[in-house]
Every structure is written in structure tokens, then in C-alpha cells.
Amino acid sequence: MKLLIKIAIILVMITGNVFAQKYLTKNGKISFFSDAPAEKIEAHNNQVNTALDITTGEFVFKVLIKSFEFKNALMQEHFNENYLESGKYPNSTFKGKVTNLSEINFTKNGTYKANVEGDLTIHGVTQKIKQSGFFEVKDGKISANSKFSVALKDYDIKIPNTVISNIAENIEITVNVSLEAIK
């Protein structure tokens, strides 16, 4: 009986260590900002699924496009129906890897610069990207933050000539996610 208890304790410890290597959230935050001559447009999405494996550096995001919220309901409607076509392309994803993983100590509190590269898919178009950001490790939790620009033309997002001055050609994306270890 004592041997079974010892084996069970060892299995729990091993399993705990395996799971502690993976971090996730279902309520990450992504926002975008368009600063065009005629108008500034901003939207927020607080339902971003994110997973990080700190042993391999694999990093994934999944964003439901319809979850972006705008101050103006008409903007939100145009965004979903005319520009991002969220009925046809419901999600945006990023699948990539932290390329400077050896420079980040996920077991020690601190802020670490992160370089990430991978495939970003928006509007059904996938592009290879390289971006930088930061991981903040604090008391066993990991926050990831980044700000970068996306060119609409790279993702085949068409803006009608009638509103071309209302929407910027490059959109600023801000990512803020707080990840917790899978237990």
C-alpha cells in the first residue's frame, strides 16, 4: 500500500510539472486603432484565446472577429460585413514561436523582451511575421504585451474608395494577455 501511495505522489509531481509548462487564457485582450485623416477608429476584443508552452516557445492566438466591440454600432457592422467578412472568415489566428526563448526566465519575476515569429492569418490570408514584445513574469503568472502594425492590403482587406480617407492603410494592433499555468 505504501508503494502505491509513493507511486501516486511521484505521478502527481511529474504530471504537475508537465502541465506547469503550458500557460493559457481565454480572455486575452487585443485592440486595434486606425488613425486616418478623416476619422479615428478603435475596437477592443476581450475574448482572445492564447496558449504558450514555455519549454518549446510555441505560442498561439485565436481571435473571434465578431467579438471586436466599437463605440459606434454602424462601424462594427461595416467591419464585420464589409471589411473582415466575419461570416466567411470568423477567426484570426497566430501560430508561432518565441525565437529568443533562452533569454527568458519564466521562473523568475521580471520583464523580458520577446521575439516572436510565425504565421498570422487574417481575412483568410496567412502571412509570415516577426514581431517583438515583452513577457512579464510575476508570482507564477505570465503577461505578454506587444504593439505592431498590420497593412490591410497584405491581408486582402479592401476599402471602398468612398471611405478610403476614413480608414488607415496600416492598423496598429495592441496585444495584452495574462496567462496562467494549466493545473
pLDDT score of 70 more than 50: yes
> What is the pLDDT, as a whole number, of residue 77?
92
In a domain, 30, yes or no: yes
Would you state the pLDDT for residue 65? 96
Is the predicted pLDDT of residue 87 greater than 70, yes or no?
Answer: yes
In a domain? residue 33: yes
Looking at residues 127-137, what average pLDDT do you find?
97
Q: Which residue has the higher pLDDT, 103 or 164?
A: 103
* CATH number of the domain residue 59 falls in: 2.40.128.110
Specify if 38 maps to a domain. yes
Which residues form the domain of 107?
Answer: 23-181
Helices vs strands, H then E, count in the chain: 2, 9
What's the pLDDT score for residue 20?
54
- 147-151: list long-range contacts, CB under 8 Å, 24+ apart: 147/172, 147/173, 147/174, 147/175, 148/172, 148/173, 149/173, 150/32, 150/120, 150/122
pTM, 2 dp: 0.85
Number of structural domains found in the chain: 1
Query: Over the stretch 133-155, which tens digit does the pLDDT of each residue have?
Result: 999 999 989 999 999 999 999 99
* pLDDT of amino acid 1: 47
Answer yes or no: is 94 within a domain. Answer: yes
Q: Which residue has the cell 464589409?
A: 82
pLDDT score of 4:
41
Task: Please indicate, yes or no, if residue 150 is contained in any of the structural domains.
Answer: yes
Any domain includes 67: yes
Residue 163 counted as domain residue = yes
Residue 9 lies in a domain: no
Whether the per-residue pLDDT at 11 is higher than 50: the answer is: no
